Amino acid sequence: MPVEEKIERVFGEIGIDKSELRPEAELKAGLGIDSTEMVELLVALEKEFSVKIPDGAINGGSTVREIIKYFSNAAARS
C-alpha cells in the first residue's frame, strides 16, 4: 500500500477525513489536531510504519506534505 494511503488511513482513525488532508495543511492550525489527538496520531503512525518517531520530528506545525515525505524517506531506508 502506498505511503499516502497508509497516512490517510491513520488520519481517519483519529477522525480526520481524507478530504481535509491538503499537502499544505498544518496539523494544529489547518486540521485542528489537539494535543491528545497528536499523541494518538504519532502512536498510530509509529505502529503503521513500524518506526520510532524521534521527539520533535513531527509536531503541530508539521504539514501533511512533510509527514508524507518523512514516511516516504523512512520506507526507503528500511
From first to last of its 78 residues, the chain has per-residue pLDDT tens of: 899 999 999 999 999 999 999 999 999 999 999 999 999 999 999 999 999 999 999 999 999 999 999 999 887 676
Reported pTM: 0.89
Q: Decide: 7 and 72 in contact? Cβ < 8 Å.
A: no
Query: Under CATH, what is the fold of the domain 3-77?
Result: 1.10.1200
The DSSP call for residue 51 is -
> Which residue ranges make up each domain of the chain?
3-77
How many of the other CB atoms lie within 10 Å of CB of 11? 23
Q: Decide: 46 and 57 in contact? Cβ < 8 Å.
A: no
